[in-house]
Amino acid sequence: MKYSDYAKWTNRATRWIEDHFATLRDKPVRAQTKPGEIAARLPTHPPEHATDMETIIADFEQIVPDGITHWQHPRFFAYFPSNAAPASMIAEQLTNAIASQCMLWQTSPAATEIEEVMIDWLRQAMDLPAPFKGVIQDSASSATLSAILTMRERATGFTGNDQGLSAQGRLRIYCSAQVHSSIDKACWVAGIGQDNLVKIPTNADYQMDPKALQEAISADRAAGHVPAGLVLCTGGTSIGACDDLPPLLAIAKAEDLYTHLDAAWAGSAMICPEFRPLWAGAEDCDSIVFNPHKWLGANFDCSIQFLRDADIQRRTMGLRPSYLETPQAQEITNFNEWTVPLGRRFRALKLWFLIRAYGLEGLRSRIRNHVAWTKELEAKLRAHPDFTITTDSRLALFTFQYTPKGGDPDQASADLLQRINDDGRIYLTQTLHEGQYVIRFTAGQFDCTRDDVMTAYDVITELAG
């Protein structure tokens, strides 16, 4: 295929995309295939000679769509959303064509400077104070790893990168059991270790207990360990738990701990002033992550890490060999020095298109609708005699069990979830909460409607029998 053929085939792809979205509501949400079925339809050896694009696209149409779980389906109510607003999709097409490697300012001046401005637009949209700067990461996992590495270096006097951790004492990171598993993995990768991630008990609202946190820190200091950082959450993955930040941040400040707030899902809602009490005190955190690709409409991957003092993370992550220097320009922003990867995509372009195409008020309206419709569904299920709401809605997330009389709620809920997802009209997932098997519901797909959410009630109650 030649560049001169690009328009022909991209127009063909565009027609497929338009038809795909026009008919998406009629398709099963979750892929209805068994393991190995897709691979069995592919040749076992790579082609020695070129294949014409007509054949390639025809194979795509026959194999891929039915083998995909449709994250853009308006009745995708599982996990958290991973959106792709049309304006963001167009920006991604342009990004793919430009194909810049945006590791340095000089390799991508527009990408670097648009990223700086987009970070500040979002900072303003969330009413965070002006000192916050930031960087676009691929995912919240990478942002969290960057924060954990920064905790490690700060606690070791910035000697860990050079000397390793063997003589540093046991570094300790604190969080609650409501945080995402990416915090556990970050401690693995950073060399801190799972045993040094201290899970603090929570109160009746599933918020980290300040008294228990203080006791854990004091016990660790008495044992000769090195408290290094505190990870907080706003909108935890399992049930949407939100820590009460001010008392925890006060302890962190007194104990000189670096703080990271995981708001990967719920952070998008903070463009709405009425939801900001959920993260009151966030302005005092050192690092905050949220994912525009979850609930704001940006294509995956796009994760924002705000930093109150970016120099601390740059000191942790920055490495500038001579071949990455920009002569006569030592104080410019090179975003690779803020992150683990050297290579970077032009992720800021989709934010620029997205925010301008819908405006903050258009984005707020979607989030507000998702929250309101979720609460309406929750109320309908609460009124049904065969269902129990196990955790109340936090923003657009709640959990429930199927609890018919005389049945085992865990097994009944698991069986119901299997029937729901095999049916295909909606897609839900599960979690374990206080030892119970519960079903999660979360709304957030960009074009979801109230009717889509209310369809969930019809499907759930119908298949419950």
pLDDT at 322 over 70: no
Tens digits of residue pLDDT in 328-352 = 556 788 878 888 877 888 889 999 9
Mean pLDDT of 432-453: 95
Long-range contacts at 198-201 (CB < 8 A, ≥ 24 apart): 198/172, 198/173, 198/174, 199/175, 200/174, 200/175, 200/176, 201/176
Residue at 78 is within a domain: no
Confidence of residue 109 (pLDDT cuts 50, 70, 90): confident
Range of the domain at 184: 101-345
pLDDT at 167 over 80: no
Mean pLDDT of 210-236: 95
C-alpha distances in Å from residue 246, one per residue of 261, 285, 306, 309: 12, 10, 18, 19
Packing angle, helices 450-464 and 409-423, rounded to 10: 120
pTM attached to this predicted model: 0.91
Tens digits of residue pLDDT in 116-134 = 999 999 999 999 999 999 9
Query: Which pLDDT does position 256 carry in this prediction?
Result: 95
Q: What is the CATH number of the domain that holds 205?
A: 3.40.640.10
Dihedral sign for Cα atoms in the order 143, 149, 150, 155: positive
Residue at 435 is within a domain: no
Query: Which pLDDT does position 329 carry in this prediction?
Result: 56
pLDDT at 158 over 90: no
Residue at 316 is within a domain: yes
Residue at 60 is within a domain: no
pLDDT at 106 over 80: no
Mean pLDDT of 174-190: 88
Compute the distance between CA of residue 246 and CA of residue 227 in angstroms, rounded to an integer. Answer: 19
C-alpha distances in Å from residue 126, one per residue of 85, 106, 132, 279, 292: 20, 30, 11, 11, 13
Residue at 432 is within a domain: no
Q: How many folded domains does the chain comprise?
A: 1
Residue at 384 is within a domain: no
Average pLDDT, the chain: 91
Tens digits of residue pLDDT in 367-407 = 999 999 999 999 999 999 999 999 999 999 999 999 998 88
Residue at 272 is within a domain: yes
Residue at 16 is within a domain: no
Tens digits of residue pLDDT in 39-62 = 999 999 999 999 999 999 999 999
